[in-house]
Structure 1
Amino acid sequence: VATYNKYFGQRVHDGFTDKFEFKYTGLQNCSIVIRNVIEQDEGCYRCLFNTYPEGAFTGRTCLQVYELHEPVVDVRESNSTEEKVVSCSATGRPAPTVTLSVSQQDLNFSQYNTVSVSNTNATFTVTTTAVLSGSRKHSTQVGCAARVLSAPQREVMVMISEVKQVHAGNDDNDDGKMVKEDTFFKVMIYIMVCHYSVILVHV
């Protein structure tokens, strides 16, 4: 990849000049920088010191490339008015760990389900789904954190609005009364028509 000589200086070999550069050069501290790291850069790198008359000294270090995209949170209705179904998906390499959290203390998650899908580009998409239960008298925040091994985690927050109780007013009662009266009126007409038809038949 690159060489350094006390007399001839540093040299990055052809094909690597856009990717590698020296940060420090010297027998006590020699290091390179890899720019725009991609999956193909993953692997083990060997450092070789040629000395005279002691010979060669070697060192070895390995680079592991992590990939983690921002999580995506989805909140949808449940069969119960006091429950929400919360899903969070995160894509990374290796497979990320996805964790759900809620800010309101009297709310809790249950019925966890996690699914991992392997993608064609060697990444994994992990989706964690859970049911959020409890009385939501106020708006609350739901968080989703995704982590890949020792890399820094990525987290997103979503606000869920409070549940508002809607009470039926007089208009609703009046509408119900109108429906009942209208139904009763139709029934009366039907009976009168049938009765009139019967009379005609007998006449």
Structure 2
Amino acid sequence: MTHTAVMTIFFVLGVFTKGLTAVIQTQQTVMAAVGEDVHLSCQLMESRDVLQVTWQKLSPEGKKENLAANNRYDGQTVNPGFQGKVEFKDAGLQNCSIVIRKVMEQDEGCYLCLFNTYPDGSLTGRTCLQLYELHEPILQIRESNSTGETVVSCSATGRPAPTVTLNVPQQDLYFSHNSTVNVTNTNGTVTVTTTAVLTGSHGNGAQVGCAARLLSVPEIQVFKTIPGFDDESGSDKNFTLIVTLITAVVVVCVAVVVTVLLRHKHKNRDSEEIL
């Protein structure tokens, strides 16, 4: 997916420091696809004497890890462990933003932007990154051995759990006995499998489709042609097969008998001509 970060929710965060209320505008939540570049920004809405802006990653345990800083005198600095991963986009002291390149699962979490001001001290904004991913659905079609019906199954894997829908373009076909199973994978993704029985008459060329949806991400659709199953029941098919085999055997036997008789006739005729 090449979509930029979506579903960004802005809010104004009030911070109380030494009897003063400073206002920071930042993103409360940013949602992005795995592998995208993500833009995080913080802006002081009131003028302050800012000495340095620091970006930190907040671990689930509450520990803070410095990513990068922009100092009034020393300029921009990215910590060695994040060089090539984190870059400054807007490096102002009142408005500062960073870009996190090709975000992965380990980048998910909350980030802090600290405005170190004089004489008010540190003013902090907070924004959280949530990742999503959606893989192409896998559509399977098979004929039930017991009932002779067509069973359609579609699986899609995503983060969070995607919505999986089966559909048929033909009006004389429909699905019945739908069931859905969710399986959570070790990497945090969820595989959703929807299975249904296809009801109605269909011939060669009929298609079924599967659509996978996730949040505001454009849905992914796949289509597959239904194999040319006959509408006969299993016993009728077996009977037809037996009749076909018997007919073939009879034809072969008749052909062999005719061939033997013709050869015998030609042999007798040759004998008579010699005499």
2:143 partner amino acid: E
2:70 aligns with: 4
2:154 aligns with: 88
1:109 aligns with: 175
Does 2:185 correspond to 1:119?
A: yes
Q: Aligned runs of 1:34-183 on 2, under 5 Å? A: 34-78=100-144, 83-137=149-203, 139-160=205-226, 175=247
Partner Cα separation in structure 2 for residue 134 and residue 29 of structure 1: 62
Q: Mark the runs of 5 or more structure 1 residues left unpaired by the alignment.
A: 180-203
Kindly provide the CA deviation profile for residues 119-159 of structure 1, in whole angstroms up to 9, marking residues without a partner as x. Answer: 23332222110111112246233221223334443222222
1:200 aligns with: none
Alpha carbons of structure 1 residues 65 and 143: separation in structure 2 relative to 1, 3 Å: same
Q: Is the 8 A contact 1:66 1:151 kept in 2?
A: no
1:24 aligns with: 90
Partner Cα separation in structure 2 for residue 85 and residue 127 of structure 1: 13
Secondary structure class of the residue paired with 1:66:
strand
Q: Mark the runs of 5 or more structure 2 residues left unpaired by the alignment.
A: 1-66, 233-239, 252-275
Q: Is the 8 A contact 2:110 2:126 kept in 1?
A: yes
Once structures 1 and 2 are overlaid, which stretch shifts more, 51-60 or 63-72?
A: 51-60
Give the TM-score normalised by structure 2. 0.55
Secondary structure class of the residue paired with 1:121:
coil
Partner Cα separation in structure 2 for residue 115 and residue 127 of structure 1: 5
1:196 aligns with: none
Give the TM-score normalised by structure 1. 0.72
1:175 partner amino acid: T
Q: Is the 8 A contact 2:115 2:122 kept in 1?
A: yes
Secondary structure class of the residue paired with 2:171:
coil
Partner Cα separation in structure 2 for residue 3 and residue 142 of structure 1: 54
Q: Is the 8 A contact 1:93 1:124 kept in 2?
A: yes
Alpha carbons of structure 1 residues 139 and 29: separation in structure 2 relative to 1, 3 Å: farther
Once the two structures are aligned, what percentage of the paired residues are identical?
62
Partner Cα separation in structure 2 for residue 29 and residue 155 of structure 1: 41
1:146 partner amino acid: A
**Length, aligned pairs only:** 175
Q: Which has the higher strand share?
A: 2
1:184 aligns with: none
- RMSD of equivalent CA atoms: 3.0
